[in-house]
Structure 1
Amino acid sequence: MRLIHVATFSALSLVSVSAFAQAPAGPASPAGGDKDAARRHYDHCLELFNTEAFDSALAECEKANQLAPSYKILYNIGLIHRELNDFSQALKAFERYLSEGGTDIPDARRAEVDKYVSQLKGLVANLDVRVNIPGADVSIDDVPVGKAPLGRVRVNPGHRKVTATREGYAPVTKVVNIAVGENGDVELSLTNLGAAAPKGALAATPVESTEPNPWTTRAWVGWGVTGALAIATGITGYLALDKSNKLSDARNTPDPDPSKMDSQSKDVKTFSIASDVLLGATIVGAGVSTWLTVKAVTWKGEGASNKEAPSVSLNVTPFGVVTQGKF
């Protein structure tokens, strides 16, 4: 069958090329340079078709028809689309060939194309495309098919991507699955970019600040200082306890040395006071570090509103230091 197509395609070139030799009547008559370029593209189309490079052959034939339009080239374009299994475009090309060729088409050729048309009509589907905004551009599988309202469009069976676009509106794409001979439909609703988001729509995700968080370093420093104070509290507390034990042992000796006991008593008092001061500083440091940590976690960048910003406060009571906060 492919050999028959190649032979038919090659034979047609004898009459198709002649279309470039004479300019079509009417104002759309191409310049001589255009006809020469069209002939070159058409020759390339034949070469590529014979090597089964159908995609490239289609591009060359379409370019030739653009430069020097001829209904005869539509026959070739239809054959290439048929080889590519693009049945809807093949059907479109063959129907245009019959329409534009009219009575100039030989009876044998018309009978052949009529047979192709009959076969292809049984291999396509129909899709009713409806868009809420008139004048929107509609494309199927990224190929423009017209402006809304379109009505029914012939498509190849399978998964088809239908897209509607118009300036000032967000583009909409839907993928539909349609079978051979089926009459499907798809509705596309464009949304005005200037319109408010509908109720129930998801809120836009806030953009995270790319600025460095200044509170992170401060929080680490705070916890570092708090840790050092806690260690110092532990050491001074241990020394105060050790000095206190030694003072008790000295008092229990038969003949204690008053001067030595006085010195040990001062040491116990000194380390006890130091331990209490360091413990208080540790508690304060822990509170401040907690506040810095909360600031680091909730920081959203400079200038970000934070009406419910967390707060931490330290209060001294007769029973100790109380840390309270709101998060």
Structure 2
Amino acid sequence: MRIAALSSRCWGRRCSALLLLTAVATAPLTASAQGAPGQPATSEDAGSSFERGVKFFHDGDYVAAMVQFKRAYELDPNYVVLYNIGQTARELKNYSEALQALEKYLAEGGAQIDAERRTRVEGWVAELKEKVATVTLKTNVEGADIAVDDVAVGRTPLDKPVVMDAGKRKISAIKEGYAPLTRYVEVAGAEQKTVALDLVSLTGPKGPDTGPDVKGPMQPEIKHTPWPWIGLGVTAAAGIATGVVGGLAFGKKSEFEDALAAFPGNPETIENTRTDAKTFATTADVLGGVTGGFAVLTIIAFAVDYGRSPPKAAPTAEAKKTSFTPIVAPTYVGLRADF
């Protein structure tokens, strides 16, 4: 099979023919891969794909040319096709792929490559190395699938650093049971760099079995009693009653004063109004005392009940409860607290 030259190209400052390996410089492509289902691949299949790649390259459609050259190499992995893949990758400014293809071309071609062409390709390789970075990718868990610019490069731990084009690169790590991770990293030409990718488990950290829970006991919850609020309600009710009775006492006093000022006075009316005024006044004083007493007790109850700290009891001991019991007697009003 004859392979025609594509065109003349300049590599940096060095111009050279973009030789896509003539029949004189190459061996024929041989069948070593499978073609259509049920049919073995032939050198003609690889050759046809190669020739289509050459046509696409002449037309400036480097993406299609790359597909055809890779297809030809897949059907017949002949080292001469790597030369075309490297040249096409350079046109696509995919310097890392161009570098790897040309290095593989030199390695697989070995002594079959003439000295002049080897020297030329080695010069291109040296220039490409200035346009790529060598990045060591590490993950905190093994078995993570790594991709650079959405192109898979392997599964961790990777056996070697990843060669990537200089610039801003997208690095992704995916592993089942972990949140997907994407980082954008800037790398410079000829730079050697290490990038750590820490994946976060979706099920939380799983540490070694340490046996039973050794945490200290939880502090028991403080349960507040209703007595402070009952005291507040009684105080409010007593205050209202004191106001009402006080108002009635003031009214009876006014009636008593009016009865005294009437002429001629009625002794029975005067006595009745005086008794009523005195009764209401006494009642208002008692209710006022009750209101004041309950107000003090209510304040104390709130201070004690809501000012308590959690009891420092042993894990199996129950926290003591505080209770309040109101005491009402004919001569005093009180509140008993049990701690």
* Structure 1 or 2: more helix by fraction: 1
* 1:30-84 alpha-carbon deviations (Å, 9 max, x no partner): 7653433222211110000011111110011011111111111001100011111
Give the corresponding residue for 2:86.
78
Residue 36 of structure 1 pairs with residue 40 of structure 2: no
State the TM-score, normalized to the length of structure 1. 0.53
1:102 is paired with a residue of what secondary structure? helix
Deviation at 1:29?
8.1
| 2:177 maps to which of 168, 171, 186 | 168
Tell me the percent identity. 35
Q: Distance in 2 between matches of 1:19 and 1:137?
A: 38
1:191 and 2:195 correspond: no
Q: 1:122 to 1:196 in 2, by over 3 A?
A: closer
Aligned residues of 2:31 and 2:41 also touching (Cα < 8 A): no
Cα distance 1:10–1:115, how it changes in 2: closer, same or farther (>3 A)?
closer
- Please say if 1:122 is aligned against 2:109: no
- Look up the equivalent residue of 1:5 and give its one-letter code: R
TM-score (normalised: structure 2): 0.51
The match for 2:66 is 58
SS at match of 2:28: helix
Deviation string, structure 1 residues 195-230 (Cα, Å, up to 9, x no partner): 379xxxxxxxxxxxxxxxxxxxxxxxxxxxxxxxxx
Q: Which runs of 5+ in 1 are unaligned?
A: 198-327
> Paired residue for 1:102?
110
Deviation at 1:178, TM superposition (A): 1.4
SS in 2 for 1:138: strand
Q: Any idea what SS the aligned residue of 1:33 has?
A: coil
Do the aligned partners of 2:7 and 2:19 also contact (CA within 8 Å) in 1?
no
In 1: Cα distance, 2:148 partner to 2:20 partner: 34
Change (3 A) 1:12 1:55: same
Residue identity in the other structure for 2:92:
L
Question: Which residue pairs with 2:272 in the alignment?
Answer: none
* Matched pairs, number: 192
CA RMSD of aligned residues (A): 2.7
| 8 A contact 1:17–1:42 mirrored in 2 | no
Tell me the CA shift for residue 10 of structure 1.
5.4
State the 1:161 CA deviation: 0.3
CA distance in 2, matches of 1:193, 1:69: 43
SS across alignment from 1:38: helix
Distance 2:111 2:183 in 1: 42
Structure 2: which amino acid aligns with 1:111?
Answer: T
Q: Using the alignment, how far apart are the partners of 1:41 and 1:13 within structure 2?
A: 16
- Check conservation: 2:129, 2:189, Cα contact below 8 A: no
Report the CA distance between 1:23 and its aligned residue.
3.6
CA distance in 2, matches of 1:184, 1:118: 19
Mapped partners of 1:123, 1:36: distance in 2:
36
Given residue 39 of structure 1, which amino acid in structure 2 is its aligned partner?
G
| Matched AA of 1:61 | F
Check conservation: 2:31, 2:75, Cα contact below 8 A.
no
Larger Rg: 2
Looking at structure 2, the residues matched to 85 and 119 of structure 1 have their Cα atoms a distance apart, in angstroms, of: 13
Query: Following TM superposition, by how much is the alpha carbon of 1:166 offset from its aligned partner in structure 2, in angstroms?
Result: 2.1
For 2:63 and 2:186, the matched residues in 1 are separated by: 25
Are 2:121 and 1:113 equivalent residues in the alignment? yes
Distance 1:64 1:13, change over 3 A: farther
Task: Evaluate the alpha carbon distance shift between residue 34 and residue 3 of structure 1 in structure 2; reply closer, same or farther with a 3 A threshold.
Answer: closer
* CA–CA distance in structure 2, aligned partners of residues 182 and 84 of structure 1: 21
For residues 18-33 of structure 1, the aligned pairs below 5 Å read 19-20=28-29, 22-23=30-31, 32-33=40-41
CA contact (8 A) 1:54 1:80 kept: yes
C-alpha contact (below 8 Å) 1:91/1:120 kept by paired residues: yes
The 2-side partners of 1:15 and 1:176 are apart by 45
Does the 8 Å CA contact 1:38/1:64 hold for their aligned counterparts?
Answer: yes
